[in-house]
Amino acid sequence: MARRAPLEGIRVADFTWVWAGPFCTLQLAHLGAEVIRVETATRLCVTRLLPPYPDMQAGTNRSGYFNQYNQGKKSITLDLKRPEAVEVARRLCAASDVVAENFAAGVMDRAGLGYETLRQRRPDLIMVALSGYGATGPDSDKVSYGPAQVPLSGMSSVTGYRGFPPMHVGISYGDPTGGLHGAVAIL
C-alpha cells in the first residue's frame, strides 16, 4: 500500500513571486500539497528571465531558476485588473485550504483578494503574507527583496572579518529563510 504524502488533499493558491514566496510554496508541494500558482500576464515573475537556460537559449519558460522553485506546481495566468479574473481568483481561493502571497502590504487588498474578503467565502482559510516590511508600520507599503533584509536584520554586522566593514551574506540569505519560515507557519 502506497503511503500518502503529508499534505496530500491540501490545495494552495500561490500568489507569490521571485524567491521567498515560491520557495515557501515549493516546500508545501514537496510535502504533497496541490499548489496552483497564479501569475498575471502583464507582470510575469522576474525569475523567468534569469539564467541558467537550457542550451543557453533565453525564454520566459526556460529559466532554470524559475523552474527550480516552481516545480510540481500547477499554474494559471489571470489579469487581476479585470473583475472577471478577480472572481476566478476568489473562487480558486475559496476552493483552497491555504493562500500564500509575498507582495507589499495592501496589494492583495487592493486587488480584492485580501484576507477579510477571502475568508467570507472560506472562513477556515489559512493565509500567509511574506511581505518584506510587515503588514503595518512606516515601510509596510514598500517592496522588498532578500538582499535588503539581511543588513536591516543586523546580520551583516556580525558577518565578515575583524577590523573590516560588515559583509553581505551570499546571494540572498533572507529569501530562502523567509520562505522556510512561511512554510512552517502554514504547517
Distance from C-alpha of 49 to C-alpha of 85, rounded to nearest angstrom: 25
Give all strands (DSSP E) within 11-130, no chain letters: 11-15, 34-39, 74-77, 98-101, 126-129
Q: How far apart are the first and last CA of the chain?
A: 26
Query: Is the torsion defined by CA of 29, 52, 148, 166 positive or negative?
Result: positive
Global pTM reads: 0.92
pLDDT at 173: 79
CB atoms within 10 A of CB 128: 20
DSSP state of 14: E
Per-residue model confidence as pLDDT tens digits over 4-40: 999 999 999 999 999 999 999 999 999 999 999 999 8
Domain definitions of the chain by residue range: 11-186
Return the active site residues. 175
CATH architecture of 11-186: 3-Layer(aba) Sandwich (3.40)
Residue count of the chain? 187
Region 105-122: what's the mean pLDDT?
97
pLDDT at 160: 85
Distance from C-alpha of 124 to C-alpha of 181, rounded to nearest angstrom: 21
Per-residue model confidence as pLDDT tens digits over 139-166: 888 888 877 788 888 888 888 888 998 8
Give all strands (DSSP E) within the chain, no chain letters: 11-15, 34-39, 74-77, 98-101, 126-129
Provide Rg for the chain, Cα atoms. 18
Region 37-48: what's the mean pLDDT?
90
pLDDT at 130: 95
pLDDT at 168: 80
* Cell numbers placing 114: 485580501
